[in-house]
Amino acid sequence: MNNIDDGAKITPARVKPGFLVSGKVSKSYENGVEITFLGGLTGTCFADHLDEETSLDKYKIGTKVTTRIISVDPVSKVITLSMKKNIVGWSTKHVEQTLSKLKVG
């Protein structure tokens, strides 16, 4: 389930890989961008996980983006994000439909 209670304090421990989040570009690096989301959490989207149709220099500070959390390190609290269309657009419904079509045996 990808829901976070409205009244709960948002911390890196409360977000999980697979969550779809909206945020804004807060910093730009040579190898990616930093995104601020959910009222103050930050995550990094490295260049190899940016939208394939948008170059790195198009991500200006303040640009609104939709990303999917791909990893959360529980010790360092580092959050890694992806903006690739095939990852952002992923859904369990799609996977279940695809798997249901597979024939076993």
Q: Which fold has domain 12-100?
A: OB fold (Dihydrolipoamide Acetyltransferase, E2P) (2.40.50)
pLDDT for 98 beyond 80: no
What's the pLDDT at 39? 85
Closest to 19 (Cα-Cα) out of 6, 33, 38: 38
Query: What's the count of helices (H) and strands (E) in the chain, helices before strands?
Result: 2, 5
pLDDT digits (tens, 9 = 90+) for 21-33: 999 999 999 899 9
pLDDT digits (tens, 9 = 90+) for 36-95: 999 889 999 999 999 877 777 788 999 999 999 999 998 999 999 999 988 888 776 666
The whole-model pTM stands at 0.77
pLDDT for 5 beyond 70: no
Cα 68 from Cα 41, distance rounded (Å): 13
Per the rule left: phi > 0, alpha: psi between -120 and 50, beta: everything else, 62 is left
What's the pLDDT at 1? 40
pLDDT range class, residue 102, cuts 50, 70, 90: confident
